[in-house]
Amino acid sequence: MVPYLSPVENKIRNYIPDFLIKIKTDKGIETWMVEVKPRKQTILKENSSKKEKITWAINMAKWKAAEAYCKKNNFTFKILTEKELFSNA
């Protein structure tokens, strides 16, 4: 769990990423914290609805906290969308 400050409630909440993966690479074992989201939740458009703006703000707060946690623990934080998961999406 990664604690983050919710921008909606101004309260500390816990973020649980989708996966924590250990990967063997030529550099050794790497640990990745991975979040899977629809691409539309990772982009803020000018004409986004209020609900989309709230979702985006919460996601950004979670991901900022996750990146800090990963940096501190020598992990890599990855966000995967349908673009990364499906080559023809």
Instruction: Render pLDDT for 47-81 as a digit per residue (tens, 0 to 9).
Output: 989 999 999 999 999 999 999 999 999 999 999 99
Contact 14, 1 (CB under 8 A): yes
For residue range 24-48, list pLDDT tens digits in order.
Answer: 989 899 999 999 999 888 888 889 8
**pTM as predicted:** 0.84
- Is a pLDDT exceeding 90 seen at residue 83? no
Query: According to the model, what pLDDT value does residue 54 have?
Result: 92
Q: How far separated are the first and last CA of the chain, in Å rounded?
A: 31
Query: According to the model, what pLDDT value does residue 84 have?
Result: 83
Nearest Cα to 67, choosing from 27, 19, 33, 40?
Answer: 33
Number of domains within the chain: 1
Give the structural domain span for 27.
Answer: 2-85
